[in-house]
Amino acid sequence: MQHLANLTELRGGAAEPAIAVDGLSHVYAGADGGVAALVDIRLAVGKGRFVVIVGPSGCGKTSLLMMLAGLRQASQGSILCLGRPMPLPDPQRVGVIFQEASLFPWLTALDNIEFPLSLRGVPRAERRQRATAMLSLVGLEGFGERYPHELSGGMKQRVSIARGLIQDPPLLLMDEPFAALDEQTRMTMGHELLRIWSTTNKTVVFVTHSLTEAVYLADEVLVMSARPGRIVDHIAVTLPRPRRYDMMATSLFGQLRDRIWQQIRKLPDGA
């Protein structure tokens, strides 16, 4: 068995990225020949890394995320998630977390979290047990029977995160998950997310508008240009982990945020 284990390690070993995108371009079909949305995107996300994509509105960062999730197909180029392409959504490989509005209002918090399992026909008792565990992971014990409209914005987003984590996918894609939250809740939720991430060892790709959020959360920040979107900068965030709120006051934090801002300001759209 020993040599077999080694072989697997050689083939898909530590060097292989969790996400590999090569030569990805996308054109939205239209009467005038279409609009170029993404141009020649290349990126590699290492296993267990927290990567944040920032860019101006309409730069195609959400489109890119949808393609990584298998929810949309690119006109050109290749995407490999854990070594395999994504022709269709595969929730056991890639989990997606949307804004809070994507919780189903007709289901309780627990039923929302269980939803992906019930689609797969997981027995009710097992579902309930796993969902309850997720609920306490995101710090919402006792709120399982509440409906989304009975929860605050931050609580809804916690439920959303629990729903994304319940199938235990190694890859987690997050599309501006905290955009609808107020500044204070947003900071708390970012910190919570890092806590959860550090206990689950997942690879995260996180899309946001907020520069502060990007630097605070990320191992690496990818800056995208205005449409047609391309990656114009790749910044390694060398702040130590675990991150603390007081790091935002350090000069390194300021320099990193400024570098992203300079990149975005250079863009023709001005962001």
Question: Smallest Cα–Cα separation from 127: which of 144, 149, 103?
Answer: 144
Q: Between 70 and 215, whose beta carbon lies closer to other proteins?
A: 70
Question: Smallest Cα–Cα separation from 69: which of 32, 95, 44, 40?
Answer: 95
For the bound state, the minimum distance from the C-beta of residue 200 to other proteins, rounded and expressed in Å, comes to 18
Q: Between 119 and 252, whose beta carbon lies closer to other proteins?
A: 119
For the bound state, the minimum distance from the C-beta of residue 103 to other proteins, rounded and expressed in Å, comes to 8
Q: Over the chain, what HEC string results?
A: CHHHHHHHHHHHCCCCCCEEEEEEEEEECCCCCCEEEEEEEEEEECCCCEEEEECCCCCCHHHHHHHHCCCCCCCEEEEEECCECCCCCCCCCEEEECCHHHCCCCCCHHHHHHHHHHHCCCCHHHHHHHHHHHHHHCCCCCCCCCCHHHCCHHHHHHHHHHHHHCCCCCEEEEECCCCCCCHHHHHHHHHHHHHHHHHHCCEEEEEECCHHHHHHHCCEEEEECCCCECEEEEEECCCCCCCCHHHHHCHHHHHHHHHHHHHHHHCCCCC
For the bound state, the minimum distance from the C-beta of residue 216 to other proteins, rounded and expressed in Å, comes to 26
Q: Between 4 and 106, whose beta carbon lies closer to other proteins?
A: 106
The dihedrals phi and psi of 68, each to the nearest 5 degrees, come to -60, -30
Q: Between 115 and 261, whose beta carbon lies closer to other proteins?
A: 115
- Which spans of this chain sit near other proteins (rule: CB under 8 A)? 66, 69, 71, 89-92, 95-96, 98-99, 101-102, 104-107, 115-116, 119-120, 147-149, 163, 167
Q: Between 26 and 243, whose beta carbon lies closer to other proteins?
A: 26
For the bound state, the minimum distance from the C-beta of residue 88 to other proteins, rounded and expressed in Å, comes to 8
For the bound state, the minimum distance from the C-beta of residue 95 to other proteins, rounded and expressed in Å, comes to 8
Q: Are 203 and 18 a contacting pair, CB within 8 Å?
A: yes
For the bound state, the minimum distance from the C-beta of residue 126 to other proteins, rounded and expressed in Å, comes to 17
Q: Between 37 and 221, whose beta carbon lies closer to other proteins?
A: 37
For the bound state, the minimum distance from the C-beta of residue 61 to other proteins, rounded and expressed in Å, comes to 16
For the bound state, the minimum distance from the C-beta of residue 94 to other proteins, rounded and expressed in Å, comes to 8
Q: Between 66 and 256, whose beta carbon lies closer to other proteins?
A: 66
Other beta carbons less than 10 A from residue 126's beta carbon: 11
Q: Between 177 and 216, whose beta carbon lies closer to other proteins?
A: 177
